[in-house]
Structure 1
Amino acid sequence: MSVEPIERVPAQGPGHGMLRFREPLTGYTILVGPPEADPGLWRQNMDGALEAYRRFGAEEALEYDKVIDGLSTSLFFVALDAGGRVVAGVRAEGPHKQVDEMRAVAGWAGLEGGPAFRRLVADQIPDGVIECKAGWAARDCEHRRALADWMARACVHAALLLGVRYTSAHSPEHALNLYRGSGANVAWWIPPSSYPDDRYRTFAIWWDMETYDSVATESQARLLDLELSQLTQNGLLPRIAWTPAQGSA
């Protein structure tokens, strides 16, 4: 298996100024950058997420009106099909300096697991923590399962691109194995929340850049290595600098 070299998007076409690579299993083009790099793509990503969340009556969790200006988003990832259509995406916030900057904290506010979740985030902040949110894939696109696996890997890429040790997220119960496949840990000692409403059991999860590769499945670890090696070889991941020596052991 090989990965097309990652490069900067040429001036013509969408995503100028963003990073680009080809997802190995689907052939979709992946673009990565801050919202201001391509406001049109950013809006397409968020509009696609809104449509996807509305199908499940969970649009409240997206907080569309609060985040559409892009100011709270550090990076977003989108997958484009051969026709240039945005078919999937995910976004990242942070690095966070204070616990209450993390939106997921609100999901446990007032609940039994609220204090434990706050402690988890507080322990991570000194070594750097971001939050990945708003993952979605178009209902009618091909390779939806492979795209879900890619979005889980994007949570690792985001941490390395932003130079932090941890990515935090929250996951519905049915998706836990998906995220564990890319190296996520599940905070089983924190009682799940009912975020965004009582239909869901939502668990706190996180990726640790020191251990994710030992938790990930063999197939996901291999894809992560392929993608990250291309990022570093092409000099496009200058902040991929997390090592154990940077933080606490």
Structure 2
Amino acid sequence: MAVNQLRADRPNFDFPLDQGIEWFDSDTGCTIVVSTPTTDPGLWSDFIDGAARSYHKHGIENALDIDSLADEANTQLFHAVVSDAGAVMAGIRAKGPLKSPEESHALVEWQSSPGLHMAHKMISDRVPFGVVEMKTAWISDNPGRSRFLASTLARTPFTAMALLNAQFVLATAGVHVLNRWRTSGGVVATKVPATPYPDDRYRTKMMWWDRGTFTNHADPAQVSKIFNEMAILARQLDHVNGRALGSGL
């Protein structure tokens, strides 16, 4: 199965992901696992535990949205960065493609904020082309790996867009996080004013990735790694697809 993140005729991922897709990430010295809560319930549980610890440490438990995590229908894919010892060092999950703006948690974050109308419009304009929302990003406290973990998570939108057949990825976060994500071509929605979410200590902004134009904004080193990961993904999907066809699925 060809996976080309720059083409408009995006590939359809129309067979079940009955096993995680994974590859070794030399930057972090970890394995990147892309899976679903149903396929990898144990890893998903570790993901949630790690996210809960991270959000608690930073005093933003109310932004974790435990109810959403408990309903697997709200997570189509998740990425887990797993160490050699089997510990989940970082992660992020994907929801989508969204059927309407109202499915996006961003509207909850901008509720009663001046940017709500513009946030709604930006999502609505892109939904016909496929929008995936990335949520619950977290990184463990590891001084030697934190910077590399952040760079690795910044590339996860492209796996999500390829697997979920979407043109766009949406994410919301504070400025310090978005500055790290810019490296992979994410663009801050400057027309949407920041919102004080999850509380007044924060100024949360909206960021978009467009698989058709991201190379105009991304760091060259990240672009190279994104293409490499898409090639790895394509090979693994070919293997999974061939196995599915061989079994009569």
State TM-score, norm by structure 1.
0.86
Q: 2:21–2:236: 8 Å Cα contact kept in structure 1?
A: no
Taking a change above 3 Å as real, the CA distance of residues 229 and 83 of structure 1, as seen in their structure-2 partners, is: same
With over 3 angstroms needed to count, the CA separation of the structure-2 counterparts of 1:19 and 1:115, relative to structure 1, is: same
After TM superposition, the structure 1 = structure 2 runs for residues 224-243 of structure 1, keeping only pairs within 5 Å, are: 224-236=226-238
**Pairwise mapping of residues 1-249 of structure 1 onto structure 2 (< 5 A)?**
17-140=19-142, 142-236=144-238
How many residues were matched structurally?
225
In structure 2, C-alpha distance between the alignment counterparts of 1:50 and 1:133, rounded to whole Å: 13
One-letter code aligned to 1:195: Y
Q: Equivalents in 2 of 1:116, 1:237: separation in Å?
A: 42
Percent of aligned positions with the same letter in both sequences? 35
Q: What CA distance in whole angstroms lies between the structure 2 residues aligned with 1:142 and 1:123?
A: 41
Distance 2:213 2:197 in 1: 27
How large is the RMSD of aligned CA atoms in angstroms?
1.9
Unaligned runs of 5+ in 1: 1-14, 240-249
Native 8 Å contact 2:21 2:33 kept in 1? yes
Amino acid at match of 1:221: V
Q: Is the 8 A contact 1:129 1:166 kept in 2?
A: yes
- Paired AA for residue 179 in structure 2: N
Question: Matches of 1:144 and 1:188 in 2, distance apart?
Answer: 27
CA distance in 2: counterparts of 1:30 and 1:133, whole angstroms: 17
Q: Is the 8 A contact 2:132 2:168 kept in 1?
A: yes
CA–CA separation in structure 1 for the residues paired with 2:56 and 2:181 = 22
Distance in 1, Cα, partners of 2:34 & 2:185: 21
**1: distance between equivalents of 2:156 and 2:54?**
19
Deviation at 1:83, TM superposition (A): 0.8
SS in 2 for 1:43: helix
Amino acid at match of 2:136: A
Deviates more, 1:19-28 or 1:65-74: 65-74
Structure 1 contact 231–237 (Cα < 8 Å) conserved = no
Amino acid at match of 1:216: A
Structure 2 segments unaligned to the other structure (5+ residues)? 1-16, 242-249
* Cα distance, 1:167–1:58 mapped onto 2, change above 3 Å: same
- Which 10-residue stretch deviates more, 102-111 or 16-25? 16-25
Instruction: Calculate the TM-score normalised by the size of structure 2.
Output: 0.86
| Counterpart contact for 1:108–1:114, Cα < 8 Å | yes
- How far residue 138 of structure 1 moved from its aligned partner, in angstroms, is 1.3
